[in-house]
Chains A and B, each alone.
Chain A
Amino acid sequence: MTPEPTKAPTLIQCHSCGAGAPLREHFCPQCTNILQLSRHGDYFTYFGLPRRLSIDPADLEQRFRDLSRKFHPDFFYNGPAPDKLASLERSSYLNDAYRVLRSPAARAEYLLALEGLSPLKMEAGATGNVKVPAALLEEVFSLNEELDEIREARESGTPREQVVARLDAARTPIARKQDEHERLVEALSARWDADQSRTTLEALRECLLERTYLRNLLATIDREAATLATA
């Protein structure tokens, strides 16, 4: 779920006593009643975490369990209808938030959206095909050529070991590039956590796009290898 970009209210009104509560609260500080889920919060605030890319998984998990215990529908079974609804919505939101925050890739994508950067969907070029990130043009061209030749070789009856060897050779530079990107993503994430600058975030976004593209390339090679194995 992408957050709303508009200027959002910063208080939730308690449906029980009418007092206003900050978005990070789950229960009314005045009357301790469960609060309705605001449509304007975000996953980081919900977990009581700063908007950072590095998260300690054990700490996140502990927070998830603690919050589950606070507002799972099991514990509001006998409550009034508005409390039951609040518990259902808060639990659903908690589960969605946990799923996103515990995966580094989903977490990064979510944070980019929160900061107003366009989502990491593959951008379509003029032909309708996915646009190749500029930094990868060279690799992509040579890989595609090589894959075409490998397919031809396979179809014209070249011995399997030779085809397998060529495929392995084609995979190596892409896999190396992928490793480089993993390290770069880590470095940029750490830099964002330290400086929170727009430039860092934009560089990170570019890097994530390239990484996704590289993953797809590796998947293509693996599919080719699978065809070879079953042929």
Chain B
Amino acid sequence: MGKVVGIDLGTTNSLVAHVVDGTPVVIRDASGDALLPSIVSVADDNTFFVGREAQRRLLTAPTRTVYSVKRFMGRGLSDVKDEAAHVPFTFAAGNGEALRINLGSHALTPPEISAFVLRELKHRAEEHFREAGEFDFEVDRAVITVPAYFNDAQRTATRDAGRLAGLEVLRIINEPTSASLAYGLGSKDRGTVAVYDLGGGTFDISILKIEDGVFQVLATNGDTHLGGDDVDQLLVARIVEALRAAGVAALSPEATQAVRKAAIQAKWDLSERESADLRVEPAPGLPQGFRQAITRAEFEALIQPLVDRTLGPCRQALTDAGLKPADVEEVVLVGGSTRIPLVRRAVEALFGRTPHSDLNPDEVVALGAAVQADILVSGRREMLLLDVTPLSLGLETMGGVVSKIILRNSTIPASGREMFTTAVDNQTAVDMHVLQGERELVSDCRSLARFRLRGIPPMPAGLARIEVVFQIDANGILSVGARELKTGVAQSIEVKPSYGLSDEDVEQMLIDSFEHAEADFDARLLIEARNEAESVVNATEKSLRLPEFPQVAAEEFEPGEQAKIETALAELKAALLGTDREIIQTRTLVLNHATQHLAEVVMNRTVKAALSGKNVSDV
């Protein structure tokens, strides 16, 4: 058996973690990054890029680079019209089947694109285990997190992505509950906790009761299309408006991404400071770039409506849990967007207590997933997560009305039963339409699947008694079984998912992905070379900026040594603009060699300073 990991497959960034001696740890890449940008890009020669490399290509190849694909998981073309307008990549004209995104000459479904991100994390973890000297370093199983408010189709799409990446998905767990596992670890805590999770693209609120190591979710609510992306979009709109006023009417895809990058940077800056610059780098069609100041007050006025949208779900979850805000004993913040001060203030005002965020809000979900993975494979029983289904499950009945079978916030696994009979003599099949949602009418709920119940023994109308069992498993995913009670005959059920992929689709995609494996391998080598090169560049630039550097150079350098370093640095940076792996690797070696002496000198001085400091204090 290989290794198991926990994966947070995020809208903006993804992470992988595992448990070492009972403690969950995030696995970092060679340059020390925990976050893998959930971005996939393809070059003209069909080379795929994932993560930082793909992120760079947002600016240079925006139409061939896909980000925020999580927002499109388990959805249909008609659902995404509004969002499609904001992204530079395009959608393949579908005929009602699974949604596909154009990526170079490929048209890929969101699960296939997510699988690239998952494969990258799998590889990262395998490298980590290999370097740690593990004999069996293959990662073959994972727990993957999803927003609590994800519906059945979105969960199934996530599980498909895992399968496509060559992972057995042990469990799909909800992000806020996953975070609570990481928080509750090792503590003998009990009490009522609210987890407020505002990520890149999704918002969740979960209310939990923790006692005896059982983490029981009382209620959950949320919005699967509300997050940091929407904040960025408001800032982008503000810049676009200003540019329009300045006479720039249409933006090139490259300029659009430059604008988006500026928006994100300003958002980050405004979490730390009272004012910031919206600063767009020059791009094709925007040679001068753009610059405008924005204050935190202006920013907050802009995003207030978004923050307010999170409060309704919070109140609903409290009502469903039968609690008042004051009953909540602890509030935990999860997700990068909870760094925004206005968000923190809104949460504090609603619950009347200071929320805490002792753990890194970016990492805590992955840590919890690793804990759950460990529970599953080790059989540890000290902790148990009891989650709920976020949405009611129902069947279409006469007149387009939904009859509820399993109510929202039911603890999972949960089951519901419904009796059917036949309407005409010798009828052998019954059709069913399963929906998810809280509204009364079919047209207002989410269609999950249509089922045809076959093989009913011929008998007079109304005599057959068919019991259909709807089973939601611990992943929050539905399965359906049926039995004719008179004869005891199990009925076969044909499933036609409304948005997802059929098992045959997934199988075919697995075959296709093996065919791409070689091209993927080359791409990976390039990415690793670049990452290595970048960490050397960063380290060198840091040394050159040290305040004591001029003194070091004057006292310790050979003639021409500084020039040699600077040349090697400039050449490596030039190579990084291209995609020639061998040149990058060679120049990395050259720079490494050129800076070896410098590194030793700096290290010696640091050690000396530390030792002399110690001597002085000892005297």
Contact residues of A with B, CB < 8 Å? 1, 65, 68-69, 72-75, 77-78, 88-89, 91-93, 95-96, 98-99
Cross-chain pairs A/B with CB under 8 angstroms, 24 sampled? A1-B417, A65-B211, A68-B214, A68-B386, A69-B214, A72-B384, A72-B386, A73-B473, A73-B474, A74-B375, A75-B379, A75-B381, A77-B379, A78-B377, A78-B379, A88-B413, A88-B473, A89-B415, A91-B413, A91-B474, A92-B413, A92-B471, A95-B413, A96-B415
Residue of B216, B417, B471 near A88 (CB, 8 A) is B471
Q: Which residue of B lies closest to A4 (CB)?
A: B485
Taking a contact as CB atoms under 8 Å apart, the answer to whether A95 and B414 are in contact is yes
B-chain residues with CB within 8 Å of residue A95 when the two chains form the complex: 410-414
B-chain residues with CB within 8 Å of residue A75 when the two chains form the complex: 379, 381
Residue of A72, A93, A98 near B415 (CB, 8 A) is A93
Shortest beta-carbon contacts, A-B, top 10: A95-B411, A92-B415, A92-B413, A77-B376, A65-B214, A91-B413, A73-B474, A95-B414, A88-B413, A92-B414
Q: How far is the CA of A99 from the CA of B411 in the complex (A)?
A: 9
Q: What count of chain B residues pass the 8 Å CB interface test?
A: 24
Q: How far is the CA of A99 from the CA of B219 in the complex (A)?
A: 13
Q: How far is the CA of A146 from the CA of B257 in the complex (A)?
A: 65
Q: Min CB distance, A96 to chain B, in Å? A: 7
Return the CB mask of B135-171 against A: 1 if under 8 Å, else 0. 0000000000000000000000000000000000011
B-chain residues with CB within 8 Å of residue A65 when the two chains form the complex: 211-212, 214, 216
Residue of B171, B384, B410 near A99 (CB, 8 A) is B410
Q: How far is the CA of A95 from the CA of B471 in the complex (A)?
A: 12
Q: How far is the CA of A92 from the CA of B379 in the complex (A)?
A: 20
Q: Min CB distance, A215 to chain B, in Å? A: 18
Q: How far is the CA of A72 from the CA of B170 in the complex (A)?
A: 14
Q: How far is the CA of A192 from the CA of B415 in the complex (A)?
A: 30
Contact residues of B with A, CB < 8 Å? 170-171, 211-212, 214, 216, 375-377, 379, 381, 384-386, 410-415, 417, 471, 473-474
Q: How far is the CA of A144 from the CA of B412 in the complex (A)?
A: 43
Residue of B381, B417, B473 near A69 (CB, 8 A) is B381
Taking a contact as CB atoms under 8 Å apart, the answer to whether A98 and B471 are in contact is no
Taking a contact as CB atoms under 8 Å apart, the answer to whether A98 and B375 are in contact is no
Known contacts A65-B211, A74-B385, A75-B381, then 4 further A-B pairs from the complex at CB < 8 Å, ordered by chain A residue: A1-B417, A72-B386, A93-B415, A96-B414
Q: Min CB distance, B147 to chain A, in Å? A: 21
Q: Which residue of A lies closest to B212 (CB)?
A: A65
Taking a contact as CB atoms under 8 Å apart, the answer to whether A98 and B411 are in contact is yes
Q: Min CB distance, A181 to chain B, in Å? A: 22
A-chain residues with CB within 8 Å of residue B385 when the two chains form the complex: 74
Q: Min CB distance, A86 to chain B, in Å? A: 12
Taking a contact as CB atoms under 8 Å apart, the answer to whether A73 and B413 are in contact is yes
Residue of A1, A69, A89 near B384 (CB, 8 A) is A69
Q: Which residue of A lies closest to B417 (CB)?
A: A1
Q: Min CB distance, A105 to chain B, in Å? A: 14
Q: Min CB distance, A61 to chain B, in Å? A: 8
Q: Min CB distance, A91 to chain B, in Å? A: 5
A-chain residues with CB within 8 Å of residue B414 when the two chains form the complex: 92, 95-96
A-chain residues with CB within 8 Å of residue B412 when the two chains form the complex: 95
